[in-house]
Amino acid sequence: MTRRLLLCLLAGLAPTPAQNAAQDVRPLTILHSNDLHAHLLPNDLDRGGFARLATAVREEKRNCATCLYLNAGDLVQGTPVSTIYHGVPVYQIANLLGFDAATIGNHEFDYGWKRVREFGRIARYPLLSANVADSNGATLTGKSYVIKSVGGIRVAIIGVVLGDLSGTYVTPDKVEPWRVLPVVETVRKYAQELRDRSDLIVVLGHIHDQEEVDAILHQVPEVSVVVVGHNHNGYPEMKNVDGRVAVLAHGYGTELGRLDLKVDMAGKKLQSAEWKRIPIDAKFQAEVKVAHEITGWEAKVSKIVDVPIGESKKRLEGHELQLLLEQALADETKSDLAFVNRGGVRDVIPEGRVLARAVWNIQPFDNMVVIGTFKGSELPPAIREGHTIEPDREYKVATLDFVATNQAAQFKTTGLKFPLNTGILARDMVISWIRKRRLLP
């Protein structure tokens, strides 16, 4: 066989450029967290902690060829360090976790929109806010999306927050003059813009599951992945709609999500996706530098919050804890009824010794207690629940100023007036009540 004939045969066997493109499938791993809520330390069940999370991220990155680490909002608000220093130390410490990008959540606004901008300046990673914009279209953090090139894959990441943020999750004064644009419409706009500039489009969204996550998966085919925050419970399994996926880890840093993808470069879509949730527990040693920073900040607040106030016969959480908080407000204000919204119950009371820190974690917000008087017939179902109400009797009702301001969302009604502001923070009132009671529940 002549050399020329052999070369011709080999050339016939070699894949064409078109065939090479069709076979170009590349790996990408997305590590993700959400709703860390400033829980710098492990919880009462010895889960979580920023220093352990940092170690977990480093270990997982060593075990993937091409990695991104994304955080889906609500980094702040949930512990005394964040409450007292308005989130700044938490963003400083988070710079050590290795985020490649993050989106803002509703609780970033708890300290007002100017503080959100400061978070963006502190963060040494892109802090995204595609659907929070001014009348000229400029976004709050100055970044709607970022394109990260990893392993030869151009990954476009669009950051969005709840479309009903203002007036539902945050009082309007914390957001205005910024406008919160519809999530799906915003994602569609940027996805179409980024299609030709990227190989994979990811939405990093602190958003609602059905109204927004599912809508993106069904209505915006350019998006291959949605990394979700806001719901603290995490998904039991990965959502998958025609090969496009969504993932959500448990909040408070108790889990790290790992999404292993194979990206079809020619089709700009996923060939496969596998997902797991990694518990953050004592098997991960604390990363030294992160632990050092946390220790310094916790020392600043310890004298205020690490003070014994009572004992609890059992661990209190969820609805049972909500009822206990309502009883505390009613007793302390000598009201007939009290209402605390479920979203205002952020943590648990552990079994055994109760520190003031527990109440700070349960109610990290600077909500004042307000009081109004209403006829039984005027009370919305949320307040009446669990009580026998006489329609013509007058009831003195205590609640939080946040609830009173956002009553359309909380009570599904408007017009209820709470004219008396006690000037006392809800958490201070609860701490005082536990001190008097001594033993819970």
98-118 core/surface letters (b: 16 or more CB in 10 A; e: else): bbbbbbbbbbbbbbbbebbeb
CATH of 306-440, one of 1.10.3330.10, 3.90.780.10, 1.10.730.10, 3.40.50.300: 3.90.780.10
Determine the pLDDT at residue 23.
Answer: 84
Q: pTM, whole model, 2 decimals?
A: 0.93
Angle, CA of 73, 400 and 364, to the nearest 5°: 40
For 78-91, the pLDDT digits (tens) are 999 999 999 999 99
Token look-up 């990093």 returns 204
Nearest to 126 by CA among 58, 71, 56: 71
For 13-63, the pLDDT digits (tens) are 455 544 545 589 999 999 999 999 999 999 999 999 999 999 999 999 999
Return the H-helix or E-strand segment holding 132: strand 132-133
Let me know if the fold of 21-294 is the same as that of 306-440.
no
Q: How far apart are CA 363 and CA 129, in angstroms?
A: 26
Nearest to 132 by CA among 208, 97, 183: 183
User: What's the length of the chain?
Assistant: 441
For 115-124, the pLDDT digits (tens) are 999 999 999 9
Determine the pLDDT at residue 7.
Answer: 43
Nearest to 144 by CA among 96, 90, 111, 193: 193
In the chain, domain spans = 21-294, 306-440
CATH H superfamily, domain 21-294: Metallo-dependent phosphatases (3.60.21.10)
Determine the pLDDT at residue 105.
Answer: 98
For 143-193, the pLDDT digits (tens) are 999 999 999 999 999 999 999 999 999 999 999 999 999 999 999 999 999
- Pick out the chain residues at pLDDT < 50: 1, 5-11, 13, 17-18, 20
Greatest CA span in the chain, whole angstroms? Answer: 107
